Amino acid sequence: MKGVNTMPEESEITGNSSVERLWIKRLSGTTKIVILLGLSAIGMVSYDTFYLILLTVFAFVFYHAAHLQWQKIRALVYAVIGFTLLNLVLVYVFSPQYGTEIYGTSHVILGRGFFALTTEELFYLLNMTLKYVFIVPLILAFLFTTDPSELAAGMNRLKIPYKICYAVELSLRYIPDFTREFKQISLAQQARGLEISKKANLWQRIKGSSQILVPLVFSSLDRIEVTTRAMRLRRFGTQKKRSWYMTHPLSKLDHFFIIITIALIFLGIWLFKVNGGRFYNPFV
């Protein structure tokens, strides 16, 4: 019929029209890779508290712009929080005086002997916590707002071999399928009488989950085999280079954030010289 648009809207293809209008969505895969890898590297090396706070603010700008739904990231955030707490406890248990060794002073807050809690140790643990607080929102923002094909194209623009880029793309694309299949197998096992819900105790849930992994692994291996055969039939890997459908030129917004990222990296390197090393020492 004349005047009727039979083509699907872009929002129907993506499933989320609001995400398409986000400025973080307009950043190219190259820019996101530069920001993520560059800031992650300098952030993991530096122990300057104020610099880590600056990186945290920068990361939360991206996290806020992504408008992520809490239901989608809740499990991952809880897992990171649990891992962070466990890591902090283990660091203190195995090396409670490491902060004193780094900063050269000792101000005891609680206890005595080897496990005496010092201000220096707490300050060191604070810096370690800031590293997780800064990197997790940045990863979540980029992971949930970047198309895998665009990410692979951006990686290839940075001279990363396209086979590695394609492997990363396939891994990201299979995550939703992997999660969906895990839920399907879990429901099938529960229908057969295997109790792995919240009603069961922890040991039963762990044992039941291990029984799900076996069919899940075999199913994943079958999918890998099918994908490998399809790629071989299409002569994947026979050429030294390849083109990318999702690649596009860098915009002004891309150049703006790349410049900011480079400036932050050089600021972190300059602070190494100011602090006489990686650690900012407020106890001097």
Kindly report, residue by residue over 211-224, the tens digit of the pLDDT: 777 777 777 777 77
Q: Where is mean pLDDT largest: 61-75, 100-114, 265-279?
A: 265-279
- The pLDDT confidence band at residue 196, using thresholds 50, 70 and 90, is low
The chain-wide mean pLDDT, for the chain, equals 78
Q: What is the pLDDT of residue 155?
A: 78
Give yes or no: residues 257 and 203 share one domain: no
Q: What is the pLDDT of residue 14?
A: 37
Structural domain count of the chain? 2
Residue 126 structure tokens: 């604070």
Quote the CA–CA distance of 241 and 29 in Å, as a whole number. 18
Neighbouring C-beta atoms of residue 264, cutoff 10 Å: 19
Residue 250 structure tokens: 């860098």
Q: What is the pLDDT of residue 198?
A: 66
Q: What is the pLDDT of residue 202?
A: 67
Average pLDDT over every residue of 108-120: 78
Q: What is the pLDDT of residue 12?
A: 36
At 257-267, the pLDDT tens digits run 999 999 999 99
- The pLDDT confidence band at residue 166, using thresholds 50, 70 and 90, is confident
Q: Establish if 272 belongs to a structural domain.
A: yes
Quote the CA–CA distance of 17 and 72 in Å, as a whole number. 17
Q: Establish if 102 belongs to a structural domain.
A: yes
Question: For the ranges 29-33, 129-133, 146-150, which has the lowest average pLDDT?
Answer: 146-150
Give yes or no: residues 103 and 229 share one domain: no
Q: Establish if 253 belongs to a structural domain.
A: yes
Q: Are 49 and 169 in contact (CB under 8 A)?
A: no
DSSP structure class, residue 283: T
Q: Establish if 84 belongs to a structural domain.
A: yes
Residue 57 structure tokens: 């603010």
Q: At residue 69, does pLDDT exceed 50?
A: yes
Q: Are 114 and 97 in contact (CB under 8 A)?
A: yes
Domain that holds residue 76: 27-147+249-278
Q: Establish if 123 belongs to a structural domain.
A: yes
Give yes or no: residues 36 and 142 share one domain: yes
Give yes or no: residues 143 and 229 share one domain: no
Q: Establish if 174 belongs to a structural domain.
A: yes
Give yes or no: residues 52 and 176 share one domain: no
- This prediction has a pTM of 0.72
Q: Where is mean pLDDT largest: 2-16, 97-111, 248-262?
A: 248-262
Q: What is the pLDDT of residue 265?
A: 93
- CA 110 to chain CA centroid, nearest Å: 36
